[in-house]
Amino acid sequence: MRSPVLAGLAALLPTACLLSLGLVAPLLAAPTLSEDSCCQFDVYLQEGAIEGDPRVNGAGVDGPYGAFVRSISIGLSGVIYNDHNGFVRFAADDVMVGPGDGDITADITFSGGMPIRIVPVHSLGADTQSARWRYIFDFKMNGQVIVSRWQTHYGETFDLPWIGPLFSAAAAAPRVNTPTPTATKANVDFTLTHLHTVDGAESATFDFGDGIHPALPLPLPATVSHEYTLGAPSVKSRTFTAYASMTNGLGGAGSQITVTVLRQPDVALRIDGQTVLDGATVEVEAGRLLQLSLANSLGYIEQASFAIGGKLDQAGAGLSYSGILFGDSDLGQTYPLTAGVSNTGAGINADSMTVNLSVVPEPATLGLLGFAAFGLLGRLRRQG
């Protein structure tokens, strides 16, 4: 037992040993471990030793186990970590008064955020009375003893039989469009990134989230393809949660990812309430309100756009436009209008069409001119 001379370096590391969904976690400069029994040291008295009484020695680290006294998680507050560019040195006091010289010291190598290798270190604390004549340390992972009688294994290397996360299930396109606007299915490719499995995997499965969950061959394939069913044309999107898992004698774990299948957009344009076809020429009246709508478009739509060179440039979530764009100075001119719909999914995710707007006078204006001409002709006849 020593004073906590390195207590200022201690850090609480509360997050669990989990892989972010669908992503390969990077190598960590410091461990990210839970305060449960993920990785811990169980401390036992040696037979004959008395907790808290340094005058009574036990039978030695090779002797019989006495009573269990405590567990020390490697994610526990008060435990020291020092990054050594490739591994992390863990040090803890055997009675958790403070790390001191490290009665228990280990070099731990991480991969993908997981501890995969551990080396018992003969530190200054290893030669203290408590480490030699009072306690026996066992290193455990998830309840299984990996290194028993820790003090008898200084300098040895132990690969940790970790089962998860063994790989990530990253989809090449977590949001993917159907190949056509009327298609009922879409194919998704998943990339399986194998991290490590020191103890050897025995089985692997991939639950695609739609009721299909085949076994995977070992070693894992680089990619796995799956065809998802979207359904009837009225269904614009469906979301699935895919889960890939592996097991061995220690248990199992895996990764999950959310995949969304989108219906490919199909543009449909209405001008002043009338449906128009791609390439058509439509007469629009100068000075009149112009109403454009893409509300009849099909598929999954996140953005709509209307563009008329020099007159209109609108893009956003709105599917309609209403405004006066043309005046008398535009009479006789023709303006191309391009309208489109799109989403951000992979594959063909946009559709557009172009029509020509021909600007003509308002019918009401022609009526007034005709009436005036008719009145003038009448007066000329009476005068004749």
> How far apart are the C-alpha atoms of 314 and 330, rounded to whole Å?
20
CA distances from 96 to 43, 209, 239, 301 (A): 11, 46, 48, 59
pLDDT in tens, 134-157: 999 999 876 778 899 999 999 999
Quickly tell me which residue has 């039978």 as its tokens.
Answer: 59
Question: Looking up tokens 């069409």, which residue turns up?
Answer: 353
pLDDT over threshold 70, residue 23: no
Q: What is the DSSP letter of 128?
A: S
Furthest-apart CA atoms within the chain: distance in Å: 143
Evaluate the omega torsion of the peptide bond into residue 99 and state whether it is cis, within 30 degrees of 0: no
pLDDT of residue 108: 86
DSSP-derived secondary structure for 20-36: PTTSPPPPPSS----SS
Give phi and psi for 369, each to the nearest 5.
-65, -40
pLDDT of residue 361: 96
- CA dihedral 96→97→103→109, nearest 10 degrees, is 50
Q: Residue 255's pLDDT band (boundaries 50, 70, 90)?
A: confident
3-class secondary-structure state, position 199: coil
Condensed to tens digits (0 to 9), the pLDDT of residues 332-375 reads: 999 999 999 999 999 999 999 999 999 999 885 444 444 454 45
Give all domains of the chain, ordered by start, each with its CATH number.
Answer: 7-159 (no CATH), 167-261 (2.60.40.10), 269-364 (2.60.40.10)
Lowest model confidence (mean pLDDT) among 4-13, 34-43, 224-233: 4-13
pTM score, whole prediction: 0.59
Look-up of token digits 């270190």? 121
pLDDT on residue 37: 42
